[in-house]
Structures are given as C-alpha cells and as structure tokens.
Amino acid sequence: MTSQPSLPLRPDLAGLEPYGAPQLDEPFLLNVNENPYAPPPEVVDAVTAAVREATGGLNRYPDRDFLGLRADLAAYLTAESAAEGLDAHSIWAANGSNEVMLHIMQAFGGPGRTAMSFAPTYSMYPEYARDTFTAWHVAPRAADFSIDPEEAIAEIARVRPAVVLVASPNNPTGTALPIETTARLAEATRATGPDGAASVLVIDEAYAEFRRAGTPSAVTLLGEHPHLAVSRTMSKAFAYAGARLGYLAAAPALVDALRVVRLPYHLSAVTQAVARAALAHADLLQRQVAQIRTDRDACVSWLREHGFTAIDSDANFVLFGEFDDRHAVWQGLLDRGVLIRETGPQRYLRVSIGTPDEMTAFYSALTEVTGL
C-alpha cells in the first residue's frame, strides 16, 4: 500500500483553524451580531419574484460590473448618511464586507507592505493581511477603547502602512469613532503610505445604522479625501446576513483599483437581484433598527444596574464584564441555552441584541450563572 503524499501547504498556514464563531443549535443565539428579526413577508415576496426573474437567465453570466446595484447602493447611502456626490462609480460590492476588505488588501497590500489597526478590534483583519502576504501591525486603544488621535497619527507616521483599518462602531467594543477623529486620520494619511503615497484609510461601518443620534457617518468625508474608503454591509441592519452582500463607498479611482483584483463575475445574478429587492424595501427592512437601539441601551443599563461593566455601544451588541473566568460564565450561559460570544479583551464577553424574549432569557441565565 503506497503512502499518501503530503500537501504543499503554505508553512504559515500549518496548524491553523478556519475563522468562525461556534455554530450550535441552541434556543437563544446571541453570538454573531445578527439582526434577530426576519425579513417581513412583503420583502420575502419581492425577493422571491426577483430570484424567479433572475433564474430565467442563469444560463448567462451575470452583469460583471453590476452598475444597477451600485447605483441603488449609492442612492441608499446618500439618503441614509446625507452624503453628497455618490453614484454607481463610487460604490463597490462583493460577497459580504469580508470580501470587500480582501479586495482592498489585494489591491493595496502585499509583500513588503503593512496594514495596521487599533486593538481590540475585529479579529478577521489580521487574516486579510495574512492571506495577502501583508505585514500586520496593531497599536493599542485607550483604556475606554477609544482611539487617541495624537497617538494614532504618530504611530501611522512611524509605521507608514499601506492600509489603515478602523472599525466604527468597533467590533467587539461597540465604540464609534468621532467624525473629528476620522477627519484628522484622513488628513494625516495623505502621504504616509509606501513611497510617499497615501495610506488607504478604511472606516469599517458594518454597524453604522445602529449608531446613536448625532453620530455622522464617515461617508460625509469622502469628497475631501480620495484615499478614504467606507465599508458597509447589508448583513446587520437589513437583516440580510444570509444574502452575503457587503459594499464600499470611495472615490472612483479607488473603486477602479478594486475592480482589477476581483474575480470575474464574482457577484451572482441571484445575489444582485436579492440585494436590489431589499434596497427597494430599505425602510421596511430597517423598521426594527430603532427597537434594537432601544433594547441595546436597555441592556447596557441592566448590566450596570446589576454590577457589571458595560461599554456604551453604537452597534447591535454590548461588550460587558469583568470576569475572573469568562469562559466559565460563557459555558454556564450555554448550558442554559444562551449562546453569546467569548471574544475581545480578556475578562469580557459580548452579547448580541435579540428579541425581547431572547434578552429576557439572557438576563435570567446570567443572573443564575453569576449568582446575582
């Protein structure tokens, strides 16, 4: 019997496990920041009709540049963020914002270049860098998880990264970046990249629709900064996590660079149809966003009233603690059918905001586990 040959796996991937939160069949799933409210019947009907129409042409490749979808996304962002000057050519889209980020790293990262962020933050960022052979650098956030602009600007000047990734609201802390800080970072990164070029500053606004009143979007700064990109997703506020549609707004020249590295026909005809059907019903799909904001703030208050530290959040989740053994608390909640996320800074856990019944179950289980 011949021995099986070994595979020529890249050495830096040896022993690694794929990224992903636990997928468990539990009654209360509050671990991956999903919108707990399913699309309403009107949207289901519209999507079904759109898919039926798209299916009739599946023998042909989809629209490679999907300008119709990009125009719809530009119109949505213009209305949602009071942005100016957005059109189809200033929008890019892909299969989730993860793929959008990978396109950024493929276009602007690579061997001999560095990407950086400010920790704690989204745990996929270093994987984008790894997958594109880009060096990864993190600078610490302040004790309250904010970013000190003076320290951040100094570190960017020292590192000279090709790409700077900043989540706002940040995952897993929920903290939003003040627009004044974003503007300062955008100004400071005009010539800090390789060979005197700009560093591409990416503001990841996956949870932007949940931000508190009076918190502007970085989209409003795009006209002043051609090296600024703002990433969004339909997974959260649109209750569309299963559709896999992320997008980005930026200057057309930056968008064109992403078009160079994308795979041909990367957005299927069905994905395009489903996304456009949802955008046509944006108000209806996002009807629950205000309720989620209210329940998030109530969660922060409940946790504080019961002796926990809870971080103010502009997202649809709350980071809370502090625990000597957070895994034991996580396991205790799981034993009671409540799945949350063990992620972020040590001594903390993260809970997604669910329906009122799901939040009641979380409060009850946490009370039992911690002996309140």
Domains of the chain: which residue ranges?
Answer: 20-35+287-370, 44-280
| pLDDT attached to residue 82 | 87
Contact 74, 325 (CB under 8 A): no
3-state SS, residue 323: coil
Paired strand residues for 214: none
pLDDT of residue 1: 59
Query: What is the helix (H) or strand (E) element at residue 289, kind and residue range?
Result: helix 289-305
Please state, in angstroms and rounded to a whole number, the distance separating the CA atoms of residues 14 and 11: 5
Q: How far apart are CA 112 and CA 271, in angstroms?
A: 35
Q: Taking the domain 44-280, which CATH number applies?
A: 3.40.640.10
Q: How confident is the model at residue 214 (pLDDT cuts 50, 70, 90)?
A: confident
Across 242-263, average pLDDT = 98
- Whether pLDDT at 68 is above 90: yes
Distance CA(169)–CA(148), nearest Å, equals 15
The helix (H) or strand (E) run that includes residue 166 is strand 163-167
- Kindly give the pairing relationship between strand 309-310 and strand 246-250: unpaired
Q: What is the pLDDT confidence band of residue 23, given thresholds at 50, 70 and 90?
A: confident
Mean pLDDT along residues 25-48: 95
Tell me, which fold does domain 20-35+287-370 have in CATH? Aspartate Aminotransferase, domain 1 (3.90.1150)
Indicate whether this model's pTM tops 0.75.
yes
pLDDT at residue 42 tops 70 = yes
Contacts of 218 (CB under 8 A, 6+ apart): 168, 177, 179, 182, 203, 205, 228, 230
pLDDT of the residue at 55: 97
**pLDDT tens track for 106-165:** 999 999 999 999 999 999 999 999 999 999 999 999 999 999 999 999 999 999 999 999
pLDDT at residue 4 is higher than 90: no
- What pLDDT is recorded for position 99? 98
Confidence band, pLDDT 50/70/90 cuts, at residue 103: very high
